[in-house]
Amino acid sequence: MTLREKQDALAADLSRYKNPQDRLAHMIRVGRAAPGLEENFKTPEAKLEGCLSNLWVRSEFRDGLCFFRADSDSAIVKGLATVISDLFSGLPPEDILKADLAPLRQAGLWQQLTPNRRTGLARLVDNIHEFAREHLPQ
């Protein structure tokens, strides 16, 4: 899928929930259902600072594309981190650097998060962008 297709699919998924609390509950369900990371990938190097809950990200680059997986000990953070990771996964670095989180903002999810959770998830996006910059074609 292209970035635009992924963003449109995410926006359509979130628009099914008219109530902001229902969207948050959906993210919690996503977090509980997501496989997360194996314990051996939950290292201090993979842990992102800036979030009250633990948040780990695993980044891989293969065949010219970036792939991300995230995990957290908080179901809502894990759900949001999974959605963000899925949004950026399977894309070339240059597309990742053009992407934003408009679907999450337009759905009102971003505004409902505590400042600490927004900071932690912003760190995840920064980490993903940094990884993409490191893998731009030379």
Query: Tell me, what amino acid is at 75?
Result: A
Q: Name the catalytic one among 51, 96, 109, 121.
A: 51
Q: How far is CA 58 from CA 1, 9, 39, 96, 109, in A?
A: 21, 23, 12, 16, 24
Q: Among this protein's residues, is 51 annotated catalytic?
A: yes
Q: How does DSSP classify residue 48?
A: P
Q: How far is CA 39 from CA 59, 62, 127, in A?
A: 15, 22, 20
Catalytic residue list? 51
